[in-house]
Structure 1
Amino acid sequence: MPFAVLALLGALTAVAPISLDLYLAAFPQIREDLGVGAWQVQLTMTACMIGLAVGQLIGGIVSDSRGRRTPLIAGMALFTLASIACIFAPDIWTLVIARFLQGIGGGAGIVVARAVIRDRTSGEAMVRALTTTMILLGLGPILAPMLGGWMLELTDWRGVFGVLAVLAAILLVGSLFLRESLPTERRRVSGFDATMRDFRAVIADPHWRYGAGSVALTSTAVFVYIGASSFIFQDIFGLSASAFGVLFGVMAMNFMLFSQSNRILGRWLSPTARLGISVVGIAIAAVVLATAALVPDPPVWLAIVGCGLLPASHGLGSPNGIAIALEHHDTRAGSASALQGVMQYLLGAVCVPLVGEALGSLAIAVGVIAVLLAVLRATNGPTREPKRAPDTTNATPVVG
C-alpha cells in the first residue's frame, strides 16, 4: 500500500482522538469561561466519544454496502462544520451538542480507514499497515496537548477549535482523492436483516470478542486517564497549562514508541502474545497508580510513571487487537470495525465522567480494567488458528 495512502488513513484515524487531546489544557479555562463544573467540561469529551461510537456504527454499515468513499467524505464534512460550531458555542450545552456531532463525523473517518486497510491487506501485513498508521495516531497525543497549551498563551479555547476546523477541512480535501477500495461485486446487501446477520456473525467470533474487547478496555484506561489528567497534574500537582501540555506529550510518546515496537517484536511473537504483554502493562499501571493514591503527598514522578504506562500498553496492544478482530471478516470489515469502535468509545464515554478528577478514582478504574482484561483473555483468548467466519447473508452480491 502506498505510503501516501497510509498517511492519509493514519490522519483520518487520528483526527478524532486529536480533537480529544488538543483542548485538554483548556479544561480549567472552559470551566471558568462558561461558569460550569468540571464534570460538565468532561461531558464535552463524553459527548464526543458517544458521537465517535455512533459515527463508526453508521459509517461501518454504510461503507460495507455503499463503498468506503461516500461515508468518509460525508463524515469529514460533518466534522468540519461541527468544529466551526464549537468555535461559536455560547454555552456548555451547545458545546456538548457540537462535540457530539464532531464525534459522529470523526467516527466515520476511523471506521472507514480501518476497513480500507482490511480491504487491501491481511495477516501480519495488516498489523504492519495498522502500525504505520499508528505513527500519526501516536503523534497526535504527543503534539496536540503541547500545541493546545501553547495556543492558550496566544488565544483562548475557541481558537483551539478553529485549528481543528482547518485540519478537518484539509482531510476533507484529501478524502476526495482516495480511491474506492471495495468493488461493487464485494459489497454487502443493505437492509436491517442483512445488517443484523452480519453483526451476529461478528459477535459470535471469539477472536473478534477477544481482539475488539481488549482494544476497548485498554483504550478506556487511556480515556479515563486523559479525562482526569489535566485536573490531576494542574490542580493537584500545580503544573501550568504549557507544562502540562509538554508532560502529556512526553507520556503520549509511549503510545507511538510501543506501537512501532510491533515491527521488531513481530519477528518472534504472535499478535496474541503481544496483546498479552499489553494486558500485563495495564496491571502494572494499576499497581503504580494505587501506590501514588495511597502515599501521603505523593511525588509527581510516581503519577507520571503510572499514567505513562497506560498509553504505552495501549500502543503495543492496539494494532494486534484490531488485526485479530478484523482478520476473519473481509467483506464485513466495515461492520466488524464499527462494532469494535462502538464498544471502545461507548465504554470510554461511560467511564470518563464516573472517574472524575481524583487520582484514587483513576487508580480504581484502571485496576478494574486490568481484571476485566484478564477475564477476557481467559474466556476468549485464541488457543488455535481459527477458521474464517462464514458468510451469513445468504444473498447475492450487490450489482450496480
Structure 2
Amino acid sequence: MYDTTMLTKEIIQQVAKVELHDHLDGGLRIETILELAQEQHVKLPATDPQTLRAWFVRGCKQKSLSLYLETFSITTAVMQTREALERIAFEAVEDLAAQNVCYAEIRFAPILHTAKGLSTEQAVQAVLDGLQRGKKSTGMPSGLILCAMRNQNPSVSLAIAELAVAFCDRGVVGFDLAGDESGYPPKKHLEAFQYIRNKNFNITIHAGEAFGVESIWQAIQVCGAHRIGHGTRLIEDMTIEGTHIEEMGSLANFILDRRIPMEMCLTSNVGTGAAIDYAHHPFPIFFRNNFRVFLCTDNRLMSDTDLTKEMELAVQYYNLNLRDLEKLTINAMKSAFIHHDEKIKIIYDVIKKRYAEIRVNYGIMD
C-alpha cells in the first residue's frame, strides 16, 4: 500500500478538485475588502491587512459561532453594487482555479445584496457576469446556487426560488436554504421547495449542522433535497464501533441507499462547533462506510482554508491516500447540479486524467 506520508502539500495542490459548497460572501480577498470598503465608505474593524484577516478568522480559531457569523456583516456590506459583486465572483473563480478546482458551485443569498438599491435580479446577473468572466480567464466552469435564508419570511424564499428557475438557462444551477437551523425548520419554506421540484430543478439544504437528525429528515423527506449541506449530525442515527457502523436508523439507510450527497466542511465544522475537533468529525465514518461525501470549504476567508488544506487535513487525520482523494473528487462531480453528459466529460477528461498523470509523475502506486 502506498504510504500516505508521501502525499505532500505539493502533490495535493496539483490534484484536480471539485468545490460544491462555497459561499461567495465567505471567500473574499482581504485586499478586495479594504479597497471596496474605502470606495463605499464602509467602516472596518481594522485597516491593516494582517489585523483585518485575524479579525475574520477569530471566530473559527476560538470556536465561537457568534464571532464567526459576525464577520458576514462586513463582507455583505461591501457587496452592494453590481461592480463589487462581479469583481468578487470573478476573483472567486480565479482563487478556486489556482487550487486546481476544475468545477465549482458558488452560492449566495441575493436578498442580502439589495441594501443600496440593487434588485435581486441585478445582484444575480452581476455574479453570473463575474463567474463567466472568470471562466474566460481561467477556463474553469462554475454554476451559481441561490440561497434563501431560514429566518426570513417564506414569501421571500418563494421569490428566490422563482428567481433561481428564471435564471436556470443563464448559469444558476440550484436553490439552497441557509442560516440558523434552530427554530427555523426547512418545512416553513415548503412552498419554495415545491415550486423548485415542480420545475425539475435542484435543491441543496443546510441541515444537520447546528440541529439534529430531524433537520436532515425534513430537508430530504419533506422538502426534497437532492444534496445536504454539512449533515454532520447524521451520526446520531447510527451506532458506531470504532470506525465501523454497527447499526443505522431508517434515515441513514435511506441516505446511503439513495446516494444522497453530503457536503463535508471539516474546518468550518470544527470552527463553528458542529464537530468537537478533526479527530471526532464524522466524515471518515461516512466515507469509509460508502456514503457519498466529499470535501468543501464553506467559507474560505472565515475558516482560513482552501480545498488543498481540507484535503491535507483529511490525509493527516484520516489516513487518506491518493485514490481516496480521487474518489472524493469523483463523488463531488457526480453530485454536481449540471447535466449528466457534462459530469462524465469532466470526470474522464479532467479528473481521472489528472490523477493518472500525478501517479506517473510521482511514482505513486495506490
TM-score range for the pair, normalised by the shorter chain length: under 0.3
Give the TM-score of the pair, scaled to structure 2: 0.27
Query: Which structure's residues are more often strand, by fraction?
Result: 2
Higher RCO (Cα < 8 Å, 6 or more apart): 1
Query: Which structure's residues are more often helix, by fraction?
Result: 1
Give the TM-score of the pair, scaled to structure 1: 0.25
